[in-house]
Amino acid sequence: MLVLLAGAGRAMKVRDIAAAIGEDVSLVKRVETTRSRLKRLLKEKRVVEGPVGWFAIAPASDARAEGDARVR
């Protein structure tokens, strides 16, 4: 999902992200699983959300400002 969002260069809807990673979007459960994963990445400050249900890759400077060892 991170590679997809970084390559997109824009915010994407959860359903579009789910479809792009190969989830069966006709099943609500698969879309909600994708949403859950994105929310976890949001807590880790690896993605940003806004408006609700739209996700984009977080700016790299945010992670560095937090002292995230994974960025170094």
Its domain, for residue 16, covers: 2-65
Each residue's pLDDT tens digit, 37-59: 999 999 999 999 999 999 999 99
CATH number assigned to the domain comprising residue 33: 1.10.10
Query: Does 46 reside within a domain?
Result: yes
Query: Does 55 reside within a domain?
Result: yes
Query: Does 52 reside within a domain?
Result: yes
pLDDT at 63 over 80: no
Query: Does 40 reside within a domain?
Result: yes
Query: Does 33 reside within a domain?
Result: yes
pLDDT at 64 over 50: no
Query: Does 58 reside within a domain?
Result: yes
Please state the domain count of the chain. 1
Residue type, 61: S
What's the number of CA atoms in the CB half-sphere (13 Å) around residue 62?
Answer: 10
Q: What is the CA radius of gyration of the chain?
A: 12
Query: Does 72 reside within a domain?
Result: no
